[in-house]
Amino acid sequence: MKDIQRPGKKNMMGLLAAAVLIGGCSHESSTVRQPPVPIVSAEAAAKTIPFEIVSIGSGEAYKTVSIRSQVGGVLSRVYFKEGEHVKTGDRLFLIDPAPFEAALRAAEAKRDRDLATLKYTEESVRRYDELAKKDYITAQEYSNLRTGLETIRATVQSDEADVESARLNLDYCSVESPLNGRMGTLLIDEGNVVRASGDNPMVVIHQIKPMFVRFAVPEQHLPDILKYSATESLEVRAFAPGESPDDRRGSLTFIDNAVDASTGTILLKAEFPNEDLTLWPGEFVNVVLVLKQLENVVVVPAQAVGTGQMGDYVFVVSQDNTVDLRPVTVSYRRDNDAVIENGVQAGERVVVDGQLRLRPGSAVVEKPADTGTKANSS
């Protein structure tokens, strides 16, 4: 059996030195700093921006009138074209007036006959006044004359009412527009018999200048809406997809008296001048209700704000080009902006691109601006 040889002192020193060298290399490699992370940053700015509620709404006519005839007869003429604009007082329809002209003449003739009778009776009573005073006629005879006079007077008053009613019916043969508006589809053609106050309208008119836009917002906004609308008229903007939000401006005019329990929303209406007639009844539009102006608030790009287990945060770039992780409170978001209630001051720079590779204390470097590709010269 061979003896196990122990390493000598010289060999032991060599092994120790090698171990120290290896350990030193390992420590040195662990302390090497990572290269800076390329980022894009933006400056937090103090701005004044509107506090808005966004919703979807639909156009609603300012007034809607269903035209029905007040007299029955043959529709002899239509004076408008479907879809055209009319003004108050413009003639729309004519019902054959011949029967109503005859009825008016008959009522006037009866009135004139009774007027003649009234005149004769009044003269008779005046003559018998003297006779009654001298007792040449009995009191009963005189009383009968007076009664007859009052009766014929009442008859004449009734005749006058009949004449006025006949004249109104003749006037009703001409149907006029009660408002400025746009005509709808003609629902009855010339030659048809029209019923007085029939169930079906002859045409429907919408007044679209001005116009309403109706929309609903979640009930949690109701306290703010009531608060700010109590002191001033709230601005409302309406725009169709592809249009500018600033094209149409109106004002809030109606807040419903109850919350819709099935949807948890409150119905609102805004009035728009609609001078260019671009809003249309039933048209769906995007709606922005401006409650107030948020003045001198700290605003950062919305893409700078991340969300973690502890809430919202941003990476703030320090003077030494390292980043600090800051928890923030976002009070409001609008388009691409986020209003920061606390956590960031105006003038500080926040990371808007490259956050996924960052951790607190990471060194960063700003990405070069994208200048685009130069076009080849021909």
Percent of the chain with pLDDT over 70: 86
Question: Which pLDDT does position 22 carry in this prediction?
Answer: 42
Domains, in order of start, for the chain: 37-47+296-366 (2.40.420.20), 52-62+206-294 (2.40.30.170), 73-95+173-200 (2.40.50.100), 97-172 (1.10.287)
Model pLDDT for residues 334-366, shown as the tens digit of each residue: 888 999 999 999 999 999 999 899 999 999 999
Work out the pLDDT band at 171, boundaries 50, 70, 90: very high
Question: Which pLDDT does position 211 carry in this prediction?
Answer: 96
Q: Which of 258, 278, 334 is nearest to 54 (CA)?
A: 334
* 214 contact partners, CB below 8 Å, separation of at least 6: 57, 58, 60, 267, 268, 269
Question: Which pLDDT does position 194 carry in this prediction?
Answer: 94
Say whether 168 sits in a helix, a strand or coil. Answer: helix
Please tell me what DSSP assigns to residue 303.
G
Model pLDDT for residues 283-294, shown as the tens digit of each residue: 999 999 999 889
Question: Which pLDDT does position 310 carry in this prediction?
Answer: 84
Phi and psi, residue 24, nearest 5°: -65, -40
Question: Which pLDDT does position 366 carry in this prediction?
Answer: 92
Counted residue by residue, the chain has a size of 378
Paired tokens of 92: 């729309």
- Distance, in Å, from the CA atom of 225 to the CA atom of 228, rounded to the nearest integer, reads 6
Summary mean pLDDT of the chain: 86
Q: How many CA atoms lie within 13 A of 145 on its CB side?
A: 18
Q: Which of 372, 360, 314, 306 is nearest to 41 (CA)?
A: 314
Model pLDDT for residues 95-133, shown as the tens digit of each residue: 999 999 999 999 999 999 999 999 988 887 777 676 666
Q: Model pTM?
A: 0.69
* 94 contact partners, CB below 8 Å, separation of at least 6: 75, 76, 77, 79, 173, 174, 175
210 burial type by CB count under 10 A (0-12 exposed, 13-18 middle, 19+ buried) = middle
Question: Which pLDDT does position 168 carry in this prediction?
Answer: 96
Rounded to an integer, the average pLDDT of 46-67 is 94
Please state which of the ranges 9-23, 185-199, 296-310 shows the lowest mean pLDDT: 9-23
Q: How many CA atoms lie within 13 A of 150 on its CB side?
A: 5
Instruction: Give CA angle at 223 (274, 247), nearest 5°.
Output: 20
Question: Which pLDDT does position 135 carry in this prediction?
Answer: 66
Model pLDDT for residues 233-259, shown as the tens digit of each residue: 999 999 988 888 888 999 999 999 999
Paired tokens of 158: 């009734």
Question: Which pLDDT does position 148 carry in this prediction?
Answer: 82
CB atoms within 10 A of CB 188: 18
Model pLDDT for residues 129-158, shown as the tens digit of each residue: 766 666 666 777 767 778 888 889 999 999
Question: Which pLDDT does position 371 carry in this prediction?
Answer: 44
Question: Which pLDDT does position 139 carry in this prediction?
Answer: 72
